[in-house]
Each structure stands twice: as C-alpha cells, then as structure tokens.
Structure 1
Amino acid sequence: MLDNNCDETSACLEHGKHLQHDETNEKDLPSQECGPYIRSQLASMCARHTLARRLPITQWLPQYTWNFFLHDLMAGLTVGMTAIPQGIAYAVVAGLEPQYGLYAGFMGSFMYVFFGSTKDITVGPTAIMALMTQTYVLNYGPDFAVLLTFLSGCMITLFGLLQLGFVVDFISMPVTIGFTSAAAITIATSQLKGLFGLKGKTDKFLDSLVNFFEHIHEAHLWDALLGISTIVALLLMQKLRIFRVKGNPQGQQVSSARRIFGNIMWLISLARNAIVVFFGIGLSYVLYLNGHTPFSLTGKIAEGFPPFEPPPFSTVFKNETYSFVEMTSALGSSIIAIPLISILESIAIAKAFSKGKAVDATQEMIAIGLGNIAGSFVRSMPITGSFTRTAVNNASGVRTQAGGIFTGLLVIGALGLLTSTFFFIPKATLSGLIMTAMFFMIDYDVVSLLWRTKRIDLIPLGATFVFCLLLGLEYGMIVGIAVNLLILLYHSARPPVDMKWTVINGCNVLLVAPAQSLAFPSAEYVREVIVADCNLHRDESQQSAVIIDGANLLYIDSTVAKVVKLLSEDLKVLEVPIFLWRWPPAVTQTLLGIDPKMKPLFKNGPSVDLVINDLENCVRHDVEGLTDEDTSVSMMNGIHHVP
C-alpha cells in the first residue's frame, strides 16, 4: 500500500515545494490551497488502490470467463462433497450437534469470495479449531462456541487492520509441527469412543486413553467393524489418484478409455469422504427398514437453515445465566489463542498454494476475520483455511475464488434437503473419517530431518508436543513458544567469536572477530572470554595487544558500548592495549557517545601491522604485516573457536 501511495505523496511534496518557493509571501497564501489537491488524491487512492486491494474480487471479476465458470463450478462442487461430511465430523469433535458443522461451511466461503486473495483457499471448520472449541462447548454449551467465533473474527480482523501478521513469525516450524502433531493425536484418540461405540468422557488426550481402556470390554462389535472398514476404505481410495494420467507419460500415447478410467478413479479419490458417509447412511437405512440398528447413529439433526441473528452476548446453560462479561471471562486465553492458530493455519496454507506469488497476509487475516464475524450470525463454529479442502480445490482445477460460491450453495442445499438423511450416519463412520484425516496431519519425517540438520530444534518440538498432550493445545503452544524464545535468547547471549593469537611485527596479538552484531545479552560474555584468554595465553616477556575486528558488526547497543569501555579498563590493568579495527561509523559513534576518550582506540588501516606500529617496543621489520585478506584467512584457521 505504501508503494501505491508513493506517486501521490511525491506529487504533493513537489506541489508544496512550488508553494514554498513562490514569490508570494507565505502569509498571503490561502490556507486551503493544498487542501483540495490532497483530498482529491486521497479519494483517488481510496477508489483505485485501497478498494482494489481490500476487495480482490474487483481485480479478477472483470476478467472472468465462461471457461473459468466451468472450472470453478466443478471444483466448488467437488470441495462441497468433502466439506459436508467433514463439517459434520468436526462438529462432533467440537462437542456440537452435527448441523453446526454445516452452519460453519457456507458463510465463510461466501465472504472469502469477496475478500480472499488466494484462489485455492477454502474456508470452513477444521479439526484443530474444533478441538480448541470443544472444552467450552462441553462445559458451557454451544452459545459459547458461537460467541467465540464472533470474538475470534473481531481479533483476526483487528490483527489484519493493524498489520500484525508478523506475530505468527514467532511461532517456529518445530513448534508448529509439534502443535499440529499433538492436535492430530488428541483428536484421533478422542474418536476411539465413537469408533468402538464406547461411552464416557473424551475431551482430552489422557482422558480419552483412560476412558478407552476402562470401557474397552463394552465395545460394540458392529461399530468397531464399520469404523475400521471405513479407515481401510479411505486409505485405499486415497491411493486411487495414482491412476490418473496427465499428458503423455514417456512420450507414449494413452487411450481414451485409459484416461476416462484414470479420471474416474481420481474423482472417487477426491470424493472418498462423501462416499463412505453415504455408504454408511445407506447401510444403516437398509438395516433400519429391516428392523435392525446394529450401529450407533448420529441421531436427529435440526432441519432447515440457521436463524440469521447476532451472536449471543448472554446465555443460559444448565439453569445458570451467563452475562457477556462472564462468557468472555470463561473463554479466557482462547480469545487470543484461537485467532493466532487460525491466522497461522490460513497463512501457512496460502503460502503453500501461492505458487511463488507473494501472499498478502493482511488481506488473508481480514478475509478470515470477516468470515468468522459473518459466520457467527448463522451459529457457526470458529473457521479458518482448511488444508485438506484447499488441496482438493487446487487438484480440481479451480480458477478463481468464485469456487467458494458453489461450495457454499451445496452446503446450503444439504441443510435444506438432506438433514433428515443425516440421522442415519453411523458414529463409527464419522470417527473413522476423522481418524484417517489425522494420519496425514502428523509429520513423521521431521524428527529424523531435525536430527540430521539442527538437533536443538527437537527441544521446542518435543516440549510443544508433550505439553499440548498433557496440558492442552493453548498451554502447549505457549510453552513451545517460550522454549523457542529461550533458545533464541541463548544464542544471542552466546554468539560465536573467532579468536587467534598470532605474532605481528614482534608483538603477541590476540585477534578477535565477532561473527555477528553484538546485543546486550552477549556483551558480558564476550568481555569475560577475552579477559580470560589474555590471562591464559599472554606472554609477559613479550608485548601483547588485543585487536577486535569490527567488520561484521552492524550495530551495538549502549550496554555493549559500556562493556567495551570496561573491557579496555580490564586490559589496561593487565597492561594489554586494545584496538578497535575496522569498526563501522555508526557503531563507532555509539561507543564515542559513551566515552569520547576512546577515540584513539579506533583504527581503520588496511592492515593489522599498521595498528601494531602504534605500540612502543614492537619490532617493526621482523615479519611482513598481514593484509585484510591474510587476516581473514588467519581468523578462519584460528587456534580455537568460542561457540
């Protein structure tokens, strides 16, 4: 946006220069002379730049074609076939009635059509959002989930308007993987209850495991068989996409029958979730007509469309009334945690499918935020970008964000026509569907990858994973971020410093080369290392000196400057002079601001031997001085390295 405003700003400044240099006295100029110009430019920016950027639909809609429509229609309907069963399943994960998953499946899609910036993204309920909502639904009722949707939308939109997307940069890859893996395992274990037809409490990882082993003897055989069969069928159908043929592999001609067969297998793979759900419905219905109900069924689902009304700012649950303040107090940290996770999911998906294009994080946050706000008016649970459905959208050849219109319409159609049919969905089928989706959320290779590359990253990954399982997702994420920041601070406090003793012009010199800029946590450490090294290696029979090469220093703070002054005083006691060689002007000014008397310590000569020439009692012609290049080599091949 700043780039878009540069021309207007420059023009106004130039206009101001003409006014300033006008022969007319400044006092005689009308005070409003520049006002109309500025107002016209601001109006122009709003019309052509801000509007186009904040309403991406204005950019792609004028170029919309019939071909785009057909591709978007196909992709939107395909995604809808996945969104319907997933929405029902994720509502169950959240502890809500199944229709809430459908309520969450259309308004976000419609809003993203207007405000979304990435054509492939599909918005709706996700497993992680459902799990993070579950606790509040079980303890306080569905109205809390709807209010949480509204508040999350407000927070996400606010983050977008304030351009606070950088906040998610503090959540590193190991923390993210630990979080998603723990969430996947927590969700999968919570579905053991439905998979085996058990009873009991399953809102947390440990509770789910304890409940499973306590009630395993009560397992329903038919539920277990159907659930396990669902998992196997989904895994097999997921592999059917390999039959699809693109182009002419290895230059060979492919028959039309082979292509048709491959495309059919590919469509079956994409629609596998809907297939297993409708198979379960059909099987349950046929058995029901014959007087048998061997499966635990989803049961009655509220028919029709949700009421369009503001989210509840007060509610009654189990004969207890909650005001808005009490509701927000009960939601607690989730008002911040859920928006952050929502932003993280959505932006990560946008980057994964951007195909090299820059992702407008601000616009993505605004789109997701407004989708949640609008969704709360139709009783939606919290929503964000869905990786699974986005992958289906991309594979289906979507051309624009308009695909979300057809996805939303299909979900609305299901609400209007199929809710009575959903009564017969076996709970084991939904549990199998959810568990299968969780298999692909776990990154199985990351541990070996980090072990080979940077093992210390296993610490925040492990901490996040363990504490998410034991304490819950919000607290586990906080622990992971804290551990990651501690590691980051440790590296800042213990920077690598190359140190080498060498003889230059008969003088015993300690060459010190910090590998990066120094910040205040590292200042005292570097001082201690240099003083200790001087005490250990200096030769009292020979003149010694310390030269700190500042070529790599881009900045220092006042604490570092103060410590450098103290270091010079420490070395003065040891009768070891110190020189600051090749320090940048900005860094030099910071030091001189602390103590102007340090000015003689700064040297900018082309070689170290010219620095040593300032010392008395040095033999100047014993050894030819080292050049900058020689010094760099000598430092790289130093006697020891302080990690």
Structure 2
Amino acid sequence: MNISFQPKLFSTLRNYSKEQFYADLMAGVIVGIVALPLAIAFGIASGVTPEKGLFTAIIAGFIISFFGGSKVQIGGPTGAFIVIVYGIVQQFGVAGLAIATMIAGVMLVLMGIFRLGTVIKFIPYPVVVGFTSGIALTIFATQIKDLFGLHIDKVPGDFIGKWITYSHHFDSINFWALGVGIISIVIIAITPRFSKKIPGSLIAIVLMTLIVYFLKNKFGITGIETIGDRFTIDPSLPRPAAPKIDFAAIQTLLPTAFTIAMLGAIESLLSATVADGVIGDKHHSNTELIAQGIANIVSPIFGGIPATGAIARTMTNINNGGRTPVAGIIHAVVLALILLFLGGLTKHIPMSCLAGVLVIVAYNMSEWRTFKGLLKNTKSEILVLITTFSLTVIFDLTIAIEIGLLMAAVLFIRRISETSSISIFKEKVHEADFIEGSTDTEKLTLPKGVEVYEIEGPFFFGVANKFEETMKTIGDRPKVQIIRMRKVPFMDSTGAHNLQSLIKSAQKDKIHVLLSGVNENVHAVLIKNNIEKLLGSENICSNINAALMRADEIVKNNKI
C-alpha cells in the first residue's frame, strides 16, 4: 500500500526565496502574537493550566507546519475542543486527557494512511454546523462565571446544571470584573474597523491588563481576579513525560478519542480547504491528517492538549503574507520565546478579559446566520441539524457526533433509495438509446410469456428489499423474467444476495431469469457471488435486444 505522505514544507523549499522568507517571517511573528491570548484562554477554558495551551500551540503548531499537507495551515488548540477537553479532565483527569489525545493521534495517522482524507469532507454540512453551533453555545455558558466575576466554588459540567448554578449566584456579581469583560468584548468587536493587522484580542488583553494592574496598585481594587490568582505559571519549556497507558484505559477512552479524532480531522480539513480557496493551492488531505495525528501523539508527552488546524489563525497567516509552512514554524518559535521571556507577565491578565475573548470566539463559531439559513432546508436536514445541536448542548459532543453521523447516513440511504425505481413492462419496452447509436427509442414488443423488470439506480441494501417486494406483487407468473440493469451503476452484497434468492425462487417455479445491460462493475459482483454460474453466462445479455432474442428462443423451445 502506497502511503500518501507529501509534506508541503519540502516542496515549497525547493524554490524558496529571500523575499518569501521575509513575508513568512512577518506573518509568523504576527500569528504568534495573535495565538498567545487564544492559547492561554483555550487552556484555561479547557480545565487545564494556561501554559498547557501554550505548550500545545508551540509543539503541535510546529509539527503541523513541518509535516502538514497545507502550505499555510496554522495548528494549535482551538475553541472546538474546549467542551470535550473540559469534560475529559473532569471525568478522567489530565492523565486521561493525555491518553485520549494520543489514541486520537493514532486514529488520525491511520485515517491518513488509509486515504480517508477525502471521505471526511463528505460529512453532511448540517452535522458540522449543528455541533459547531452547539459547541459555541456551550463555550459561552462556560464563561459566565468569569465574565460576571461570580463567586462559585465548582461549576457543574453539564449545560443545564451550569445555568441553574449561575441563577443561584447572580447576587454575587463583581461589577469591576463585568466592566473589564464588557470593555474587552467592545474592543475586540470594534478593532477590525481601524486595524486589520493587530488583533482585537491582543489589544484588549494588553490594555485591560495594564488598567487592572493600575487599579490594584494605585486604588487598592483587588476584587478583579487574574490568571495569577488562580494558577501558578511556569515560564519554561516542558519536559517530556509519557503517560502510563494500559488496555483498560484505552478501552474506557476509545469513544472519547474517536470524537477528538473526528473533530480534529473535520476542522483541520475544513480550514485547509478554506485556505486553498484564498491562495489558489490544493492541500494534501491525507498528509494533513498524518501531520495532525503526529502532533496529537507528541503534544501530550510535553503536557499539551488536543490540537487541530485553526481557521482564524490560518486566515491571519494568509492575510499577512504567509505562503509556506515556514510561517507556521516561525509562529511556534515566537510563542516559545514569549513563554520563556515574557511568560511571567501573563499572571496579570484578568480572567474576565479572557472570558470576553472567548465570548467573541463563541460568537464567531456560532455561525448563527448559517444555522438560520439551514432551517429553510428539507425536514430531514433540519432534523439532523437540530438533533446534533441539541445533543451537543444538553449531553456531550461524543454522543452528538455519533448520532448526528448515524442520522445523516440513514437519511442519505433513504434519499438514495427514493431515487432508485423499479418498472415493470408486460407488452412493450423501450429500446436502449445506445443500441441503435441514435436518440430514437423504439418500442420493442415482448414475446408472450416474457416480462421485463427495469431497475434504475444503485442496487444496494436500501433498494434490494424494495425490488423483492415488487416481484412478490406480480399476479400471473411469466415464463421468462428479464431483469434490465442498464441503469444500475453498482451493486452491493445485499443486492447480490437478494438477486440470488430471487433467481433460486424463480427457478423453483420454473421461471427462467435473464439479466440485461449489466455493466463491468456489476458483472464482477455477479461473478464473485456465483450468480453468473447460477444463471449461466448465456443468460447475461449485453442489451435488451439480445435478451429478447434469448427469451424468444426459450419460449419457442419451451426450455423452462
């Protein structure tokens, strides 16, 4: 088996120029600065320490750029993982999170090796929007405590439990913290109007950190909680320490790891596809999955959390001139330098300011306009959207993805089944256009005792039963049944089994079965399932004319 692994870094370096390096350097520095507050915020919101978010952005970000299949993809922790990571930490601890992330990494590598990159792209859009919007609402709910400065010892993990707890503690609002959070949100919202280069989140964090520091030291206002009040930050690079993995842990964490892997695959490939449209390139989806897998295997060893391609940071990279993976590598180096030399300053960042940053992240993730637009689609798509959204919010992402994908698959099979039809002809049948080499469709008269059953569409497990039921409704039994398959593109094992059962049943009733217009793919299935042997090769005809001649011969010779 040929493994599709073609990192973009090595192909882009062949014709690399000094001018492109300067562009990548500038983009990498800017993206590194943009990633700083987000990595810290995602780390805290995920239930781990701030530096773990930075470790992920540094280690995973470097690996994704070095091995990735996209020229401009920026990897690291993302908002999509907050909900699931928080749940894992609460239930299994940081060690459980590390194991789940590594298992997910192995799954991603296997997805890339088995060339599933293109398959992931076909996950229905309502499923993606449903759980993305659900994650956004859940992220918003997790930030209420810090945004309002509420005095709550422990916030429940479930969505409804959170709001019940909040309602009991709203009398403890810290208006200083709320003011910092609201001003942070306003700054982030209005920044794009006057600055396209410097991100609003960075401006808000720098400005509000200075203001809160000034209020604490000059006016003695100490009620505004900062990162340093809750966490002890170690401003040094992590040391590798692999978690202890046993079979019991793998068995327990496998479903959660699958969710991490699916979410990582979907988000990274969506990000890479969006980037392709902007820069006019085409990423290697399987290479990208392998790179994401390696990143998620290595990241936990250095204290990191799950990582994937980040759309916002990838677009920032593109908008600032990044066109090769060198920019992503520089972004990781910049973050490492900030951690080493300025990491101690992060303890002064107000928690309510970070909550404001994540409220904006949640709003951007919500895709409420898209969600609203999808509500105008078919009832089945609306059902998938609402179900996936509701399960994400009320239960968890693992259940939402599994049931959302299952529903989408069932509805897809139903839709395909509806496009397949079975027609019965007892007196005349249309001649195939391609037989005569023209667009004329003459009607051919059927010999007495001959009937034609035409299948149109795929003959798979969703249609096979329909065909069997149609055959059972026939009144008088003909002497010859011609099953016309010119419009059957493929047949699966269930279709083959039902066809085989039907032929055996017909032969018991002394009815001769002929097949007409079988293409190469379907013919191969017939051979594998011994149907050709059961019928006889002379009874599998290339077109309807040949089948009718054979039927006429059987009727005249009474070879039943």
Deviation, 1:293, is 2.4
Label 1:566 to 1:460 Cα distance change in 2 as closer, same or farther (>3 A).
farther
| Aligned-residue RMSD, C-alpha | 3.5
- Which range is displaced more, 459-468 or 429-438? 459-468
State, as a whole percentage, how many aligned pairs show the same letter. 22
8 A Cα contact 1:494 1:525, kept in partner = no
Deviation, 1:430, is 0.8
Deviations 1:555-594 (A, max 9, x none): 4343132244157469979xxx876443346646547536
8 A Cα contact 1:196 1:224, kept in partner = yes
Label 1:142 to 1:230 Cα distance change in 2 as closer, same or farther (>3 A).
same
Deviation, 1:98, is 1.4
Are residue 195 (structure 1) and residue 133 (structure 2) matched?
Answer: no
Deviations 1:176-199 (A, max 9, x none): 221211111111111111111122
Are residue 278 (structure 1) and residue 206 (structure 2) matched?
Answer: yes
C-alpha separation in 2, matches of 1:615 and 1:158: 54
C-alpha separation in 2, matches of 1:168 and 1:492: 20
Aligned counterpart, 2:383: 459
C-alpha separation in 2, matches of 1:610 and 1:175: 51
Label 1:436 to 1:407 Cα distance change in 2 as closer, same or farther (>3 A).
same
Greater radius of gyration (CA)? 1
C-alpha separation in 2, matches of 1:114 and 1:603: 54
Q: How many residues align?
A: 525
Aligned counterpart, 1:373: 297
C-alpha separation in 1, matches of 2:256 and 2:187: 36
Deviation, 1:274, is 0.5
- Which range is displaced more, 520-529 or 488-497? 488-497
Deviation, 1:305, is 0.9
C-alpha separation in 1, matches of 2:268 and 2:533: 47
C-alpha separation in 1, matches of 2:505 and 2:186: 68
Counterpart selection for 1:476 from 389, 400, 422: 400
Label 1:603 to 1:579 Cα distance change in 2 as closer, same or farther (>3 A).
farther
Deviation, 1:517, is 2.6
8 A Cα contact 1:562 1:594, kept in partner = no
Counterparts of residues 340-489 of structure 1 (less than 5 Å): 340-355=262-277, 357-447=281-371, 449-450=373-374, 454-489=378-413
Q: Which amino acid aligns with 2:517?
A: R
8 A Cα contact 1:195 1:223, kept in partner = yes
8 A Cα contact 1:149 1:380, kept in partner = no
SS of residue paired to 1:468: helix
Counterpart selection for 2:532 from 593, 608, 614: 593
Counterpart selection for 1:296 from 198, 222, 225: 225
8 A Cα contact 2:422 2:467, kept in partner = no
Counterparts of residues 57-456 of structure 1 (less than 5 Å): 57-165=9-117, 168=120, 171-198=123-150, 199=152, 200-238=154-192, 240=193, 265-268=195-198, 271-290=199-218, 291-299=220-228, 300-313=231-244, 328=250, 331-355=253-277, 357-447=281-371, 449-450=373-374, 454-456=378-380
Deviations 1:498-552 (A, max 9, x none): 53667535989976432213124422321222443x44xx8x9xx9986543111
Deviation, 1:600, is 5.2
Counterpart selection for 1:550 from 463, 467, 485: 485
Aligned counterpart, 1:43: none
Contiguous gaps of at least 5 residues in structure 1:
4-49, 241-263, 314-322, 618-643
Q: Which amino acid aligns with 1:272?
A: G
Q: Which amino acid aligns with 2:80?
A: I
Label 1:561 to 1:294 Cα distance change in 2 as closer, same or farther (>3 A).
same
C-alpha separation in 2, matches of 1:586 and 1:405: 47
Deviation, 1:433, is 0.8
| TM-score, structure 1 normalization | 0.73
| TM-score, structure 2 normalization | 0.82
Are residue 583 (structure 1) and residue 518 (structure 2) matched?
Answer: yes
Q: Which amino acid aligns with 1:333?
A: P
Label 1:457 to 1:600 Cα distance change in 2 as closer, same or farther (>3 A).
same
C-alpha separation in 1, matches of 2:345 and 2:446: 94
Deviation, 1:234, is 1.8
Deviation, 1:463, is 2.3
Deviation, 1:166, is 5.7
C-alpha separation in 2, matches of 1:190 and 1:596: 65
Are residue 604 (structure 1) and residue 526 (structure 2) matched?
Answer: no
